[in-house]
Structure 1
Amino acid sequence: MKRFNLVLGAVLIAAGATSCKDEAKETAEHNVDHYVVFVDSVNGLDAAERAANWAAIDAAYQARVAEAEAAMTTLKEDEAAQKRIDESKAKYDAVRMQAENEAKAKMEAEAAKTAGNPMADKFFGAGNVVGNDMTFAWVNKDNILSVYQKFYETFDADKDEYSRQDLDKVKAWYEALDNRKNTVEKEGLSSSDNNKIAGIKLKFAPKFRWERLTAKGEENQAAKDKAN
């Protein structure tokens, strides 16, 4: 994160004092310089740091490239400046392609963790990665209510079909979703959605306890029958 902050800081270099006559030209030249420095700094980051901060990097890049392109209306026939911009664009395009490929590979790896798990797909929707770490990073303040609602409706519809092992999975997912909710609350979850989620949890808890209890009883009975 320290190096990433230095990258963003590189674009905040203050313009030097200029004469009124040359102020526009020098400002344009500084904007081109800032753009080139920014792209070079992004190239200097390691892949993991770029991936962790890519959204902010790309947003900053769009602002810098817009300034550099606008600068060319002042610099006009300055071929050297245009060449520097073009070269930096090519560098950034290569970095962006690498970042996109890395992000795609990561998503595919996460998706593979839940491949062949129809139960997870049923609870959370196909394509919504649960993963072994169960971070639920795709759950946010805008969709968390619908995630809880789908979770509850799926459980309620199929609860009589779950084995004790299935219920262990449901419990782990539910607790992980609750942990995600603690984070989402800090990110602006509305009071209305929070209250509706609380209502869903109140309905879910007693039904889940009952299913766990009866599943354990059925498991014990099955063991006794087998022993006899």
Structure 2
Amino acid sequence: MNTDFINLTTENLVDEHLCCIIRSKKPHQGIEAKRQWLDDRLKEGHVFRKLNEKATVFIEYAPLETAWVPITGDNYYYLYCLWVSGSYKGKGYGKLLMEYCLADAHKNKKSGICMLGAKKQKSWLSDQSFAKKFGFEVVDTTDNGYELLALSFDGTIPKFTQNAKKQEIESKELTIYYDMQCPYVYQNIEVIKQYCEINMIPVSFIQVDTLQKAKELPCVFNNWSVFYKGKFETVNLLLDIACLKRILKK
């Protein structure tokens, strides 16, 4: 078992594999957009720790105060993503990554760690049953089943903003909020844009390009959120055409 992990820095970012499932050997606009997004975030205390191989074994978290999510709390880390896939699953890598995050939080005297979950596990969210083994508990919920999980060290708890629980916007057309944190975002936009153009479906893409915009979003957000007919639908970044068609039938 290889336990050689490295943290991305502004110095090594340009050369390191970003651990996503995109395996393109050619320049990929989504990956390059992710690098730029990370370059700005690393200066704010964002952590991206990965196995030193071309593998999907990584954890990504940030101080909640600078995390691009509509969640409030004092002195917490927000865990964006903890992912282990393929032949690396079941070998203890997830445990090592979570333990690193916990140790980092204690070292920096954080009040705790929080993450996005759901009443029913979503394939596009980190495994909440795994997190609960470390003591994470549900501390806030939305009406449509999304949950905020937290591991508190001092009894304080974070919360979704009131805006995040609103889950409504004025526009009735298909509306997608996104940032460039995930390499999948770029290609998803292109696929959805092409489908909507061919089928003459009005669609708006709203880039969340500042921390303030992220904190004020009218829904839960982990880098992608979809609305239709004014109602929040999903944060499923793996929004294929079949899923999109189901939303548009509503």
Q: Which has the higher contact order (CA 8 A, sep 6+)?
A: 2
When you count strand as a share of all residues, which structure comes out higher?
2
Which interval holds the TM-score relative to the shorter structure?
A: under 0.3
When you count helix as a share of all residues, which structure comes out higher?
1
Kindly name which structure, 1 or 2, has the bigger radius of gyration based on alpha carbons: 1
TM-score by length of 1: 0.24
